[in-house]
């Protein structure tokens, strides 16, 4: 073969494809094969092609040079500059900002869309602006639309910039291929895996050397499988009539039906289990080259996990967004910490991030993290990075946590505080990663290394772009880059590959499992935005939706013809909604029905039951060894005991508390503490109220409240809620207090700690401990008051649920007590809710304690018998397992 020129040859898909290609190549070039170039759509096809050539020749053989368009373009890139994506983006955003056309829009996403569009148009000849605007108007059938002509103008501008300035990647690639063609000397064979027109640069090549394009396309079908498949999915370009008229022979249909299974699952788990079982069964039957086609990535991921349990590793060709890796998350955790000014949850996320402070030994690190957790709760640190870095470093000095905090401080100090160009931000970020002692650890794994490489690449690419970005803006840009970069775990070598549909083109597999073959996942991409209009796409020469749908169907057809066995599965329902199989699969199945061989749709096998184990009993009625029976009792412990003995067990015997949490706003507890303190100070300062005027007293009380809350208000404006309300009610409180004093109750003491040891009938001891909010002395005895920062009806309700708090205090204080009451403070006027006959109640309580504690020592069980109200907010539900107790 010698004459220049372009020849197009069509070959049918199927396992025989490479044999045919090999025969054609050998037939045409014989010994001169080594002097030709062979362009493959992807390098994954090189291996089967070599084998086919070798088989066809039947002897040792030099190969043609195997290339892909990308590789060829790379060789011809030379020192022609390209404008990297990230840099174009920054430039375009800078430009859009200057123009100010787009108002408040998110310019990053607009710019991304425009750049994608310029790339899509890289091979389309440039039009005049007016011409383009006219095309827009014509295809949309819309005249005098400002919005539309603005878009045409924008498209034209980026297009022009790309074609006349430094080209973007797509155009640079196209130009390199043109250069290669212009210098071509060797015959070229091109294997095309889609039905798109051969690219135009091949014509230039053909002018200098012979070019043979091998296009893989289904024809009439001369074997059973392709005939049956053609009946379901007529090859493109044929006007085939309705399915009814295309009925294949039952034999043809049956032959296809024997190789294809359509499986409807009821849940993700069932689908994934079906995939894992099927792949395992294939492996067990000795099949190797197996593809798991991930139409639905989540289901595929689940299936992969299930296969890994069986020690089947998958080579992952799909690639994940780099942003979904822990490595990227670590970088983000650091940035988030800065962005939220050390917000405690972000801080706790950051200190747990892997890679950071990689030098720390695991145990030490765990202790450091625990110490920081603890510090955050103790200090009630909500946010404030500066305070955090300074105070935590002080408080934790000497411990392992200090080191971790110091790293964060060093790293944070490196980051700019104002606007800066992207490259500067990146430079600082890389320095911060060093400061965090994370770089080496990151380089130690695949994803981490890719993150570092990306950051370095971005730094280089954005060099010299002056656009100054704020931290938030820069982060948005960086997030976009992390979203765009693909991460692929290339370390696994396996005959089972996890791959996207498009990557299966022309590849032969012994068996293929397509997971997630529903209408949503198995659908052609739907372009949106500026180039979303079908008519416009066609005018500009871009593939329209029809072309995309054809491509999808041909990919599926190729897969069916190339695979020994093929299973399509989908979840027939998702989130409680019906989920239909892909449209092409529905037609395929109808073809089976039309041919009379019956539907191929089957239900996924039910999930296997786990192996049976001996019954595991649950019981929640512990009894205590005598030495573990508590010898101390507080009022709140008593309340636990009354609410539910098991809760008492968990909290007061096992000492499991709910983890304290950071209070983002003052909780009732903290407000209550402040109020108690203010009232104590107030009454201590004015032991006899009658000596001052109510106005002066009220002023004083207001001032005290104001002081107590000033700090909290400065931190958070909403703390006015309690502060203002308490101040507004100060006068009413004073009135109440004066009236009480006038009635003969004189304030005696507040916040009094008391304890009382009881000797129990079995000889054991029990010490009651408590703090009494306030004690007044009257003529007939003492009165106990317990402040409640609640409305009277809520206090009353609680009181009706066999509440023993006042009885408990009465018992503590002794016989002098004649009155005991709650004082509900969240009322316009404070409301007293008295305990009826406090001494009787105290006696009853005492007799209860004298029965209960000896009983516990004698082995009585603590049942989980809380009622609905008790259980609702109980933190021990996971321990008592009440939900499952009969």
Q: Shortest Cβ contact with ligand SF4: which residue?
A: 866
Report the alpha-carbon distance of residue 153 to residue 564 in Å, rounded.
52
Q: Which stretch binds another protein (CB under 8 A): 8-16, 731-739, 748-756, 846-854?
A: 846-854
Element (H, E) at 17: helix 17-29
Per CB under 6 A, contacts with ligand SF4 among 519-558 are: none
| Closer CB to ligand SF4, 375 or 649, in the complex | 649
**Run of H or E including 767:** strand 765-778
* Number of neighbouring beta carbons within 10 Å of residue 150: 14
CB 776 to another protein: min, Å? 25
Partners of 380 in the β-ladder: none
Residue 640 tokens, joined: 């636990």
Neighbours of 503 (CB within 10 A): 18
Q: Pick the binder of ligand SF4 from 188, 385, 726, 871 (CB under 6 A).
A: 871
Q: At its nearest, how many Å lie between ligand SF4 and the CB of residue 622?
A: 11
Count residues binding another protein (CB under 8 A): 205
Binding mask 469-508 for another protein (x = CB under 8 A): ---x---x--x--xx------xxxxxxx------------
- Shortest approach of ligand SF4 to residue 877 CB, angstroms? 4
Interface mask toward another protein for 625-654; x: CB under 8 A: x--x------------xxxxx---xx--xx
- Give the one residue of 3, 614, 743, 753 binding another protein; rule: CB under 8 A: 614
812: enclosing H helix or E strand: helix 805-813
The nearest distance, CB 422 to another protein, in angstroms, is 19
Choice between 29 and 647, CB closer to ligand SF4: 647
Residue 735 C-beta: closest distance to another protein, Å: 19
- Select the residue interacting with ligand SF4 from 22, 351, 388, 876 (CB under 6 A): 876
C-beta closer to ligand SF4: residue 613 or 886 = 886
Q: What minimum distance in Å lies between the beta carbon of 741 and another protein?
A: 28
Site for another protein contains 873 (CB under 8 A): no
In angstroms, the CA 836 to CA 850 distance is 22
**Residue 691 in contact with another protein, rule: CB under 8 A:** no
Residue 850 vs 865, nearer CB to ligand SF4: 865
- Residue ranges of E strands in 160-239: 188-192, 210-216
Burial (CB count <10 Å: 0-12, 13-18, 19+), residue 305: exposed
Answer yes or no: are the C-beta atoms of 354 and 330 closer than 8 Å: yes
Residues 105-124 contacting ligand SF4, CB under 6 A? none
- Please calculate the CA angle 624-627-628 and round it to the nearest 5 degrees: 50
Largest CA distance in the chain: 125
In the complex, least distance from residue 863 CB atom to ligand SF4, rounded to whole angstroms: 8
179 near another protein, judged by CB under 8 A:
yes
Structure token digits, residue 857: 């020592």
CB 788 within 8 A of CB 822: yes
Q: 260-265 and 563-571: which strand pairing?
A: parallel
Beta strands in 430-479 (DSSP E): 468-469
**623 Cβ partners below 8 Å, 6+ apart?**
856, 859, 860, 861, 862
State residue 756 phi and psi, 5-degree precision: -145, 130
Q: Which does 345 bind (CB under 5 to 8 A by kind): ligand SF4, another protein, none?
A: another protein
What is the separation of C-alpha 2 from the centre of its chain, rounded to a whole number of angstroms?
A: 58
* Complex with another protein: residue 7 or 877, whichever CB lies closer: 877
Least distance (Å) between residue 312 CB and another protein: 4
464 near another protein, rule: CB under 8 A? no
- Binders of another protein among residues 320 to 349 (CB under 8 A) are 321, 323-324, 326, 328-329, 332-333, 345, 348-349
Partner interacting with residue 647 (select from another protein, ligand SF4, none; CB below 5-8 Å by kind):
ligand SF4
Which of the residues 705 through 764 are near another protein (CB under 8 A)? 713-714, 716-718, 720-722, 724-725, 728
Binding residue (CB under 8 A) for another protein from 23, 50, 676, 771:
50
Identify what 189 binds: another protein, ligand SF4, none; CB under 5 to 8 Å per kind. none
State yes or no: residue 116 binds another protein (CB under 8 A): no
Question: Of 787, 782, 755, 757, whose CA–CA distance to 771 is shortest?
Answer: 755
Q: Is 638 in the site for ligand SF4 (CB under 6 A)?
A: no
**Closest separation between CB of residue 651 and ligand SF4, Å?**
9
874 binds, among another protein, ligand SF4, none (CB under 5 to 8 A by kind): ligand SF4
Whether 735 and 694 have beta carbons less than 8 Å apart is answered as: yes
Dihedral sign computed on CA atoms, order 678, 684, 690, 692: negative
Point out which residues pair with 421 in neighbouring strands. Answer: 468
Using rule CB under 6 A, residue 866 touches ligand SF4 = yes
Backbone angles phi, psi at 747, to 5 degrees: -60, 130
54 near another protein, rule: CB under 8 A: yes
DSSP state of 302: H
Show the binding pattern over residues 705-744: x = contacts ligand SF4 (CB under 6 A), - = does not: ----------------------------------------
Work out the angle at residue 821's Cα, subtended by the Cα atoms of residues 641 and 684, and round it to the nearest 5 degrees: 110
Which of residues 590, 662, 677, 834 is near another protein by CB under 8 A?
A: 590
Query: What is the spatial distance between Cα 824 and Cα 804, in angstroms, rounded to a whole number?
Result: 17
Residues 645-664 interacting with ligand SF4 (rule: CB under 6 A): 646-647
In b/e form, how buried is each residue of 264-281, taking b as 16+ CB within 10 angstroms?
A: bbeebebbbbbbbbbbee
**Among residues 70, 298, 440, 815, the one that binds another protein under rule CB under 8 A:** 298
DSSP-derived 3-state class of residue 233: coil
At closest approach, how far in Å is the CB of 639 from ligand SF4? 11
If the CB atoms of residues 743 and 886 are measured against another protein, the closer one turns out to be: 886
Residue 637 found at the interface with ligand SF4 (CB under 6 A): no
The DSSP code for 790 is S
* Footprint (CB under 6 A) of ligand SF4, residues 464-483: none
Q: Does 880 bind ligand SF4 (CB under 6 A)?
A: yes
Instruction: Provide the 3-class DSSP secondary structure of residue 212.
Output: strand
> How many Cα atoms are found within 13 Å in the side-chain-facing hemisphere of 598?
5
Stretch that binds another protein, among 387-395, 559-567, 613-621, 690-698 (CB under 8 A): 613-621
- Applying CB under 6 A, among 111, 552, 644, 849 the residue interacting with ligand SF4 is 644
Footprint on residues 261-290 left by another protein (CB under 8 A): 266-270, 277, 280-281, 283-284
Token pair 């309300």 in the structure block, residue: 725
What region, left, alpha or beta, does residue 576 occupy, with left being phi > 0 and alpha being psi -120 to 50 degrees?
left
- Overall residue count recorded for the chain in this entry: 886
Closer to ligand SF4 by Cβ: residue 509 or 649: 649
Q: Contact between 862 and ligand SF4 (CB under 6 A)?
A: no
DSSP 8-state code for residue 3: -
Binding to another protein by residue 601, rule CB under 8 A?
A: no
| Distance (Å, whole) CA 160 – CA 165 | 8
Cα gap 467→459, rounded to integer Å: 14
Q: Provide the minimum distance between the beta carbon of 115 and ligand SF4 in the complex, in angstroms, as a whole number.
A: 57
If one asks whether residue 369 binds another protein (CB under 8 A), the answer comes out as yes
- Contact status: 61 vs another protein (CB under 8 A): yes
Q: Which is nearer to another protein, 479 or 692 (by Cβ)?
A: 479
Distance between CA atoms of residues 852 and 760, nearest Å: 10
* Rounded Cα gap, residues 315 and 392, in angstroms: 46
Residues that bind ligand SF4 (CB under 6 A): 643-644, 646-647, 864, 866, 870-871, 874, 876-877, 880, 882
């Amino acid at each position: 073969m010698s004459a220049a020129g372009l020849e197009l040859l069509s070959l049918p898909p199927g396992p025989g494809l490479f044999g045919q290609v090999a025969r054609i190549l050998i037939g045409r070039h014989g010994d001169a094969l080594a002097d030709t170039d062979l362009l493959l759509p992807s390098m994954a096809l090189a291996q089967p092609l070599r084998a086919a050539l070798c088989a066809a020749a039947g002897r040792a053989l030099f190969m043609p040079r195997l290339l892909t368009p990308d590789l060829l373009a790379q060789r011809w890139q030379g020192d022609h500059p390209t404008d990297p994506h990230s840099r174009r983006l920054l430039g375009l955003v800078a430009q859009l900002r200057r123009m100010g056309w787009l108002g408040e829009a998110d310019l990053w996403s607009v710019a991304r869309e425009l750049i994608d569009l310029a790339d899509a148009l890289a091979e389309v000849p440039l039009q005049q602006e007016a011409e383009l605007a006219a095309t827009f108007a014509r295809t949309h059938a819309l005249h005098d639309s400002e919005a539309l002509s603005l878009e045409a103008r924008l498209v034209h501008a980026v297009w022009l910039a790309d074609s006349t300035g430094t080209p973007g990647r797509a155009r640079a690639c196209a130009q390199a291929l043109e250069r290669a063609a212009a210098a071509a000397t060797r015959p070229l064979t091109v294997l095309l895996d889609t039905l798109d027109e051969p690219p135009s640069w091949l014509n230039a090549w053909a002018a200098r050397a012979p070019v043979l394009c091998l296009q893989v396309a289904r024809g009439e079908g001369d074997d059973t499988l392709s005939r049956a498949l053609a009946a379901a999915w007529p090859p493109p370009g044929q006007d085939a009539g309705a399915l009814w008229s295309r009925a294949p022979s039952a034999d043809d249909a049956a032959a296809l039906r024997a190789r294809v299974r359509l499986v409807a699952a009821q849940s993700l788990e069932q689908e994934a289990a079906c995939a894992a079982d099927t792949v395992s069964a294939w492996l067990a039957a000795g099949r190797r080259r197996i593809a798991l086609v991930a139409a639905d990535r989540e289901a595929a991921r689940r299936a992969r996990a299930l296969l890994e349990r069986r020690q089947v590793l998958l080579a992952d060709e799909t690639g994940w967004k780099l942003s979904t890796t822990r490595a990227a998350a670590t970088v983000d955790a650091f940035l988030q910490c800065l962005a939220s000014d050390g917000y405690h949850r972000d801080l706790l996320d950051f200190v747990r991030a892997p890679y950071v402070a990689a030098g720390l030994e695991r145990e030490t690190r765990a202790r450091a993290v625990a110490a920081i957790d603890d510090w955050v709760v103790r200090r009630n640190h909500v946010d404030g990075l500066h305070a955090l870095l300074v105070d935590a470093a002080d408080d934790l000095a000497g411990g392992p946590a200090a080191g971790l905090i110091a790293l964060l401080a060093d790293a944070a100090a490196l980051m700019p505080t104002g606007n800066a160009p992207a490259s500067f931000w990146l430079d600082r970020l890389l320095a911060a990663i060093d400061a965090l002692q994370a770089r080496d650890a990151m380089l130690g794994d695949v994803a981490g290394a890719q993150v570092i490489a990306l950051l370095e690449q971005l730094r280089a690419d954005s060099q010299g772009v002056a656009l100054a970005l704020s931290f938030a803006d820069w982060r948005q840009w960086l997030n976009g880059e992390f979203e765009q970069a693909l991460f692929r775990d290339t370390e696994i070598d396996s005959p089972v590959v996890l791959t996207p549909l498009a990557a299966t083109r022309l590849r032969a597999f012994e068996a293929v499992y397509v997971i997630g073959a529903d209408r949503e996942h198995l659908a052609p991409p739907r372009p949106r935005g500026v180039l979303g209009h079908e008519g416009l796409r066609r005018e500009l020469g871009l593939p329209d939706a029809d072309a995309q749908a054809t491509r999808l169907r041909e990919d599926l057809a190729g897969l069916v013809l190339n695979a020994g066995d093929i299973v399509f599965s989908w979840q027939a329902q998702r989130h409680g909604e019906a989920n239909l199989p892909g449209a092409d699969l529905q037609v395929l199945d109808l073809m089976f029905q039309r041919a009379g061989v019956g539907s191929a749709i089957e239900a996924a096998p039910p999930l296997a039951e786990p192996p049976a184990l001996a019954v595991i009993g649950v019981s929640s009625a512990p009894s205590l060894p005598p030495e573990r029976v508590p010898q101390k009792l507080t009022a709140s412990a008593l309340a636990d005991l009354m609410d539910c003995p098991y809760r008492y067990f968990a909290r007061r015997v096992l000492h499991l508390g709910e983890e304290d949490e950071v209070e983002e706003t003052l909780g009732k507890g903290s407000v209550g503490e402040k109020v108690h303190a203010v009232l104590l100070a107030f009454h201590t300062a004015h032991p006899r109220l009658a000596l001052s005027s109510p106005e002066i007293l009220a002023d004083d009380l207001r001032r005290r409240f104001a002081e107590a809350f000033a700090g909290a208000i400065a931190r958070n404006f909403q703390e006015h809620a309690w502060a203002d309300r308490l101040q507004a009610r100060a006068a009413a409180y004073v009135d109440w207090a004066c009236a009480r004093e006038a009635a003969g109750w004189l304030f005696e003491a507040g916040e009094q700690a008391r304890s009382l040891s009881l000797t129990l009938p079995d000889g054991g001891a029990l010490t009651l401990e408590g703090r009494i909010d306030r004690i007044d002395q009257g003529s007939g005895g003492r009165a106990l008051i317990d402040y409640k920062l609640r409305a009277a009806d809520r206090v009353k309700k609680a009181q009706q649920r066999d509440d023993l708090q006042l009885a408990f205090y009465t018992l503590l204080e002794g016989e002098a007590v004649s009155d005991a009451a709650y004082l509900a403070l969240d009322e316009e006027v404070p409301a007293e809710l008295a305990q009826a006959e406090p001494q009787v109640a105290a006696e009853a309580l005492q007799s209860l304690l004298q029965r209960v504690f000896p009983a516990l020592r004698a082995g009585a069980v603590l049942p989980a018998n809380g009622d609905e109200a008790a259980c609702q907010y109980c933190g021990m539900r996971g321990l008592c397992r009440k939900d499952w107790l009969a």
